[in-house]
Every structure is written in C-alpha cells, then in structure tokens.
Amino acid sequence: MRSCGPVLRVWAGPFPNFLLFTPEAFETVLSSKKLIDKGTEYGFLHPWLGTGLLTSTGSKWSTRRKMLTPAFHFKILEDFFHVFNEQSQVLIRKLGAISTTEKDGFDIYPFISRCTLDIICETAMGCKIEAQTHIDSEYLQAVLSMCRILNVRTSQPLMRSDILFKLSSHGAQQRRNLKILHGFTDGVIQKKKLERKQLNLINKEPTSVVNNSEKDDFVPTKKRLAFLDLLIEASKDGELLSDSDIREEVDTFMFEGHDTSTAAISWSLHLIGSHPPVMELVNKELERVFGNSNRSVTMNDLNELKYLECCIKEALRLFPSVPITARNLREDTVIHDYILPANTTVLLVTYFLHRDPKYYPDPELFQPERFFEENSRGRHPYVYVPFSAGPRNCIGQKFAMMEQKVILANIFRNFHLQAKDKRDEIVLLNEVVLRPRDGIRVHLTPRLKESL
C-alpha cells in the first residue's frame, strides 16, 4: 500500500475516501482542533451510545470532554485497583480450573472478555454483574451481539441503509439488544440516584465530589466512587446532565472500556507466549518486584513493571485495538501537498502507520525493546497512536494501561503460558476492534507458589 504514495484514494460508490498512514498525515488530522468530526460510520453507534463522548462533536463534545476528564484523575484511578485485583483473582481461578481439563490448550479470549466486562461494570457503574461466574450473562451477550451488528453495518453496503437495516434480522436483533443494554443501564442509574438520596438523608448533606482547582481535580471526600457516581454528581440534579445524557456516557465507557482492553490483553498474551526469551524477561521482572508472594498489585508496582509495559506497547503497535479511525473533513485540508476536499472522509490506518519501516525496522517482529526509553527518544510523536492523539485522544488510556498491567502481571505470576497458534495462522477481523477470528489459544501450566 505504501508504494501507492502517502495518500490513497478509494471509492465507496460515488463517495471518495482517503487512506492515510504516515505520521505527518496523522499529525495534520489528529492535532487539529477543527477536524474532530468522526466518520459517518460512527452514526451506526448512535442507537446504542447516543451522542456521548465518542460520537459527539462541536460544543457538546468539548463540554463533555472537559466535564469528564477529572473522572480519570490518577487519585480516582488508584481507587479502582482493588477492582482490578479482585476480578483478576476470579480470572486466575477460572483459568486454573480449565488448565487442568484442557491439556492441549484452550481459547483464552472469552475469559479475558468476561474479566474486563466485570471490571468496567464495577468501575463505571459501581455494580457487579459477575460475568466471569455467570458466563451466559444477558448483558455480555448483548454487547458481543452489538459489536457483530456494527461490523455488518460497516462492511455490507445494503445494511448501511437505515430502512433496509431496520427491516432485516440484524435490525430486529439490535432492537432486542438495546432493550437489554439500555434497560440495564437505566436501572443502575435509578438505583444509584435512590441510594444517593437515602445517603443524603442519613448524612443530612450530599456525598460530594469537590472540584477544588482549575485542574479539575475531582477528589472523592467520603467514599470510593464509580464513574456513574461522578456523573450523577456533575449532573447538578439534572441541570447539566439528564438521565439520558448520563446513560450516553456510561454506555460509551462500557463499550470503549471492554472490547478494546480485551483485545489488547489477548494479543499481549499471544505475543509474549510466542517468544520464550521475552517471557523469561517478563518473569524475571515479576520475580524481582513480587518475589514468590501472592500479594495484590499496587500502583507503585506498576511503575516497576517497565519491561511488561514495553511488551504491552509493542503488542499495541502490532495489533492496535482500533486499527482504523475515520474523520470527516469540515474544510479543504492539505496533506502531503494534496488538497483533500471538504465533506469527504479520511481513514487513518493505524495498523499500517505502526508498521512504518523508517521508524520500526523489521516491523513485523515482536521486539518490546523498541519502547525502551533510549530507543524511543526522537521518534515522531505521531508514529505510535494506539489511543489516538491530539484533542480527541482516548480519555481512558491511563485506566486501560493500568488494567492491562494488573491483569497480565497476575496471569504471569500464576501461570507459565505458551501460545498454541502461530501468528501467521491467526485470521484477523476488524469488528469495531481488531480481534482474532478463532480466538487466542494458549496452554497454561500453574506456577508453584508459597502461601503467605
């Protein structure tokens, strides 16, 4: 594709799209405060997510972004560590049980998916759905079904028509899914608001989140708060956010915080498990930090897990969770001396950007040392964007990296892992996120540990 030039035009019927895959092109689009409109395909998410942070634009997006950024302050993220560790331990028990019965290996992807869903439910909504212990979870099945339907709408021309889609079996399935998804979120919101009123009556004052500086440092003053609690507090009893506004943002974070993390963790497991020398270095780092203990992972531990972080970053280079991002151009835009006309779509192909041999020699090789500080220095800032970049970068990227490090650290502390599939045998699917068609097969051997 690179031999075609830095800008490639393709046609979707009568409509031109422009494929971009150079850091210079990415910088032009992603750094702009004007080119923030998502592609038309994001409209397929509106029935589920409304116009929340992911799909909105203009003043609504700007206002919501400013309002929600404090919810991801490190002080609040640190409060989520007990959830990361708790759900990781449930995952470890599930993996331990299946590793004794599936001697030839098994698909670990659904186990990771249920774990990340439990984590995002508890941190975003403050409720437990126990997807790991109730694998037939109606909510989980509805989420997975919606992702499949979104892929159908983007890949099948006839299904891009709202009329034809509504008349199809996919449209009927989406309506069933939305009843489950919206019903669940609405129920949790009302329950939270009722609990809040009861608590206020008991305390005779609100349990508040204080915005005490221009830096938007929301600090919980009385209790650990989920993302939903922060939204309810910020809503000012409906003056700033209605219940439907709150649902938009909660559903958005349920969507963005589940499947993307599942894919990232699963690809990391596959790549580390395919490279024994890398696995050995990961194990040595974990032994240095944790010894032979069973203690929980802490925020300070994450700062010490530098090689594991490099492994995650390299996995995200090779398999970015969102391999393609679409933006609509509001105005004529010059990229690589080409004038791309207003009202057309640019497709930012992160998958190819991350394989630029100028910055990543032998780009198909898995080499975590690419992200050692001395090797990253001087690299173009827009040649690595797994969480996007610029004004519309991923608001939850710190949360995602923390979650991934905790889950991976706990898995590798408890098991020796071996990937069962060769990378070139894995079929990739771009179903909203970049996922393996047939899962990630691994073989696990429990590590002998002392009880403390």
CATH number at residue 216: 1.10.630.10
Helix ranges, 160-242 (H): 162-167, 169-203, 227-234
Residue 329 inside a domain? The answer is: no
Name the residue range of residue 79's domain: 31-321+386-424
Residue 136 inside a domain? The answer is: yes
Q: What single letter denotes the amino acid at residue 383?
A: V
Residues 398-429: pLDDT tens digits? 999 999 999 999 999 999 999 999 999 999 98
Q: What single letter denotes the amino acid at residue 28?
A: T
335/340 Cα distance (integer angstroms): 7
Token readout for 430 is: 């771009």
Residue 263 inside a domain? The answer is: yes
Closest CA to 7 of 406, 333, 358: 333
The pTM for the full model equals 0.90
CB-based contact 447:416 (threshold 8 Å) = yes
Residue 187 inside a domain? The answer is: yes
Crossing angle (nearest 10°) for helices 397-414 and 81-101: 40
Residues in the chain with pLDDT values less than 50: 207-222, 450-452
Residues 364-392: pLDDT tens digits? 999 999 999 999 999 999 999 999 999 99
Is 394 labelled a binding residue? yes
Residue 414 inside a domain? The answer is: yes
Beta carbons within 8 Å of 265's beta carbon, 6+ residues apart = 112, 116, 404, 407, 408
Q: What single letter denotes the amino acid at residue 389?
A: A
432/152 Cα distance (integer angstroms): 10
Q: Write down the pLDDT at residue 83.
A: 94
Residue 170 inside a domain? The answer is: yes
User: For the chain, what is the domain count?
Assistant: 1
Residue 39 inside a domain? The answer is: yes
Strand pairing report for 15-20 and 345-349: parallel
Residue 378 inside a domain? The answer is: no
Q: Write down the pLDDT at residue 129.
A: 87
